[in-house]
Amino acid sequence: MSEEIAVVKVADVPVGTELFSATVELERSSLVKYAGASGDFNPIHWNERFAREVGLPNVIVHGMLTMGVAASVLEEWIQDPGRVLDYGVRFTRPIPVPDPGSVEVTVVGKLGAVDAEAGTARIDLNVSSDGATVLGKAQAVIKT
């Protein structure tokens, strides 16, 4: 996380307000580490020869790793990760990872909606890499 995350109370700001923003760096070793931690050893995430053979431009980031790091940015902002009630995404664009090198994933969270009666808020996440959105309809519902 390269940027400081400021906490804003969702009740105090209008819908659409940007709540937080951070950039996460991923390299090949990040993918290997996630493979081990998650048990997802699909070779498209660590074997460049295999990835190219199946038509990918290079080894690609696990969609679930991108989803996971975006959640980490949200968790840091809400201060208690136990307040996340629902979190869903669509995987719309793969992120190739060069070697040597790294890729940056930028996560921006905006207030999507507030349900005062239920005590919840929807946070809309824009997750992008190299200027292109990589997760579609990335939304989380949190306890306020």
Partner 1 sequence: MSVNADFVGRVFTGTPPYEVSRVKIAEFSSAVQSLHPSHLDVEAARALGHPDVIAPTTFAVVIAQRAEAEYITDPAATIDFSRVVHADERFTLQRPIHAGDVLSTAVHVDSIVERRGISMVSTRTEITDEAGSSVATVRSTLAVRGE
**One of 37, 115, 116, 130 touching partner 1 (CB under 8 A):** 37
From residue 77 to residue 96, the character string flagging contacts with partner 1 as x (rule: CB under 8 A) and all else as - is: ---xxx-xxxxxxxx-----
- Asked if residue 6 binds partner 1 (CB under 8 A), the reply is no
As measured in angstroms, the least distance from the Cβ of 14 to partner 1 is 26
- Of 5-13, 76-84, 96-104, 111-119, the window that binds partner 1 (rule: CB under 8 A) is 76-84
As measured in angstroms, the least distance from the Cβ of 24 to partner 1 is 6
In three-state secondary structure terms, 50 is helix
Which residues fall within 8 angstroms of residue 43, CB to CB, at 6 or more apart? 50, 51
**Under rule CB under 8 A, which residues in 40-69 are in contact with partner 1?**
40, 42, 54, 63-65, 67-69
Number of residues that bind partner 1 (CB under 8 A): 35
Consecutive H or E run containing 115: strand 103-115
- Residue 85 to residue 81: CA distance in whole angstroms: 9
- Residue 54 to residue 74: CA distance in whole angstroms: 34
- Residue 22 to residue 65: CA distance in whole angstroms: 16
- Residue 38 to residue 66: CA distance in whole angstroms: 13
Residues that bind partner 1 (CB under 8 A): 1, 24, 30, 33-34, 36-40, 42, 54, 63-65, 67-69, 71-72, 74-76, 80-82, 84-91, 140
